[in-house]
Structures are given as C-alpha cells and as structure tokens.
Chain A
Amino acid sequence: GQQLNQSPQSMFIQEGEDVSMNCTSSSIFNTWLWYKQDPGEGPVLLIALYKAGELTSNGRLTAQFGITRKDSFLNISASIPSDVGIYFCAGPPVSTQGGSEKLVFGKGTKLTVNP
C-alpha cells in the first residue's frame, strides 16, 4: 500500500534556529498537507499544497509541493517554544479511491525546541 516516508523522526533544536523536514512517497500525490499535533489534541492543518512546484507560506512556515509530485518539505524559520509538537505530512494519493478524505499520513517528525 501507499506509504509516506517522513524524516527526520525527531529533532532537537535551540530557540531561534530554522527547521526543515521532508516527506517522500512511492506514489504520486495530487495534494500535500502538513499538520501539527500537540499532546492530547487532534492534528491541526498548517499548510495545504495543490500544485506541483507550489511554494506556500503561513507565517514562519513554508512548504513546497515537489515537482515529481512524490515529495514535499516543510520549513520553520526562527523557531519558538510553541513550535514544539509532532508534524505530519499527509495526502490523498492519485490512485486512491474515495476522494480527498482518504489521507495517507507519514509517521511524523517530533520537534523539541530548547529555550
């Protein structure tokens, strides 16, 4: 089945540093989504990407939809303590039946920010 390979698994950084994480797939995606999950809460959508090559920003967050449609990356600039959490990439592969609601998720990147 479809899998998303997300890396790194975890990151420990100092406040103020920039962060980069990425996601690769064995299948083509027509949408890439990046979510953040805090302990005890559900995932919250950060950025949605809909076109190959698209580069989208949301405040200090920037994400890109890879040209091959099989990868995406998320950058966080000037990290702050509240950036702590688990970041997931997700998307509905083109080959998936059931529409956009059937998402495949990566295993997540756990981010720790030291003040």
Chain B
Amino acid sequence: DAGVTQSPTHLIKTRGQHVTLRCSPISGHKSVSWYQQVLGQGPQFIFQYYEKEERGRGNFPDRFSARQFPNYSSELNVNALLLGDSALYLCASSTYNSPLHFGNGTRLTVT
C-alpha cells in the first residue's frame, strides 16, 4: 500500500509569494494533518482536517490555510511568504484512534 505522498518534494520561493503544497493520505484514512518542522526542531501542528472540515488549528497566522477534498487529499496554502516560513512541511494521515503516519514532506525555502 502507498504511504502518505506529498508534492512537490522541494520548492524555492521568494518573499511575498504564495505557495500550495499537496498531500494524498493513505488509502482509507479520512483525517489529514499538517505540521511545520523548522531545522533542529520537532514538528509543530498547523491544521487537522477530517471529512473536509477543519478540526484543529495550531498557533499559526492567517496566512496559512488549508482544505481537504472529497477524495481526502489536502492542500496547504501559505500567502505572503516570509523568510521564517522556510521549513519542512509534513503531512500526516490517520484513521480513527490510530497514530499519525507521516509523508516525507515538502522542503520549502524562501529567499
């Protein structure tokens, strides 16, 4: 079975630009979560979506938004990029009461 897949794997953007990251969960998983991992730190929770509804939001500004589609895939959008948004963005999926399974992430570099 395919694991959580994320695209693109790497991305370079300029300050002020907008970025869209994509995630496909494990087949049968209806919940998708997004995490930001800055170099040298553990992942930080950004969003959780379940059945296309936002179920949780971390301490991130409104420049960060996400959505989940009927096939349970998800997009993370970040507007007005700042240098500090440079990080590894991880998507994770889960089914009811199961631990999170992470993808390999999208490495975003903002210059």
Question: Which residues of A does B touch, CB under 8 Å?
Answer: 1, 4, 6, 31, 33, 35, 40-45, 48, 88, 90, 97-108
Contact = CB atoms under 8 A, between A and B. Distances in A.
Contacts of B101: 45
Contact of A102 (B4, B48, B90, B105): B48
A1 B59 contact: yes
Interface of B: 4, 31, 33, 35, 40-45, 48, 50, 55-59, 90, 92, 94, 97, 99-105
Given A1-B59, A107-B42, A108-B42, A101 B104 contact: no
A84 B58 CA distance: 30
A31 B44 CA distance: 17
Given A42-B4, A42-B102, A43-B90, A99 B42 contact: no
A101 B59 contact: no
Contact of B45 (A4, A41, A103, A107): A103
B31 A101 contact: yes
Contacts of B58: 102
A1 B56 CA distance: 15
A51 B57 CA distance: 26
Nearest to A1: B59
Contact of B104 (A41, A88, A104): A41
